[in-house]
């Protein structure tokens, strides 16, 4: 059963990461084209649907399956410091997702003051965290 849960977890993570990579990119288009009302309305629909139909379900699937893996193998914490760094990076991804969810709502209501330049930079955060997570999970360097 463990391997089935692990496979589901990986599928969930891949889906969630797609949202973490793409939603901030939509924010770039949204903020850099705010004078084009019709275009922004299309982007708002894309942001909302991506978040609601892929982001939130894959977020919860990732969290639940990840916790299930830990409960099925609590001794994983005895395998080294890698798991602690991996989980720390995962918590940071969770906080990032919560933050971009808040930003999405502000953008939907035309209340966000952040620039396209900010979102171009902010869009790199999940990439860095993903690199850390993958290296910790595969290489287990310590």
pLDDT in tens, 58-103: 999 999 999 999 999 999 999 999 999 999 999 999 999 999 999 9
Q: What is the mean pLDDT of residues 39-52?
A: 98
Supply the pTM of this predicted model.
0.94
Domain with 129, as residue range(s), is 2-138
Q: Report the percentage of the chain scoring pLDDT > 70.
A: 100
Measure the CA–CA gap between 14 and 23, rounded to whole angstroms.
Answer: 14
Per DSSP, the three-state class of 139 is: coil
From CA 13, how far away is CA 18, in angstroms rounded?
9
3-state secondary structure of 9: helix
Q: What's residue 61's pLDDT?
A: 98
Q: What is the pLDDT of residue 32?
A: 97
**Mean pLDDT score across all residues of the chain:** 97
Q: Report residue 29 as tokens.
A: 């288009």
- Alpha carbon 114 to its chain centroid, in Å, reads 19
In total, how many domains does the chain have? 1
The first and second tokens of residue 130, run together, are: 């993903």
Question: 76-79 — which CB contacts under 8 Å span 24+ positions?
Answer: 79/140
User: According to the model, what pLDDT value does residue 30 have?
Assistant: 97
What mean pLDDT is predicted for residues 121-137? Answer: 97
CA angle, 48 then 98 then 83, to 5°: 130
Dihedral in degrees, nearest 10, Cα atoms 13, 19, 20, 26 = 170
């Amino acid at each position: 059963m463990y391997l089935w849960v692990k496979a589901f977890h990986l599928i969930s993570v891949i889906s969630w990461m797609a949202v973490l990579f793409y939603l901030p990119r939509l924010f770039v288009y949204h903020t850099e084209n705010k004078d084009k009302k019709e275009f922004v309305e299309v982007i708002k629909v894309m942001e909302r649907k991506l978040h609601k139909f892929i982001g939130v379900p894959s977020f919860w699937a990732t969290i639940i399956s990840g916790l299930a893996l830990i409960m099925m193998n609590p001794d994983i914490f005895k395998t080294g410091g890698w798991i602690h760094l991996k989980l720390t990076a995962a918590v940071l991804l969770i906080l990032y997702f919560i933050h971009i969810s808040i930003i999405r709502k502000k953008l939907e209501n035309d209340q966000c003051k952040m620039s396209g330049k900010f979102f171009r930079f902010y869009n790199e955060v999940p990439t860095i965290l993903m690199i850390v997570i993958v290296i910790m999970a595969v290489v287990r360097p310590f």
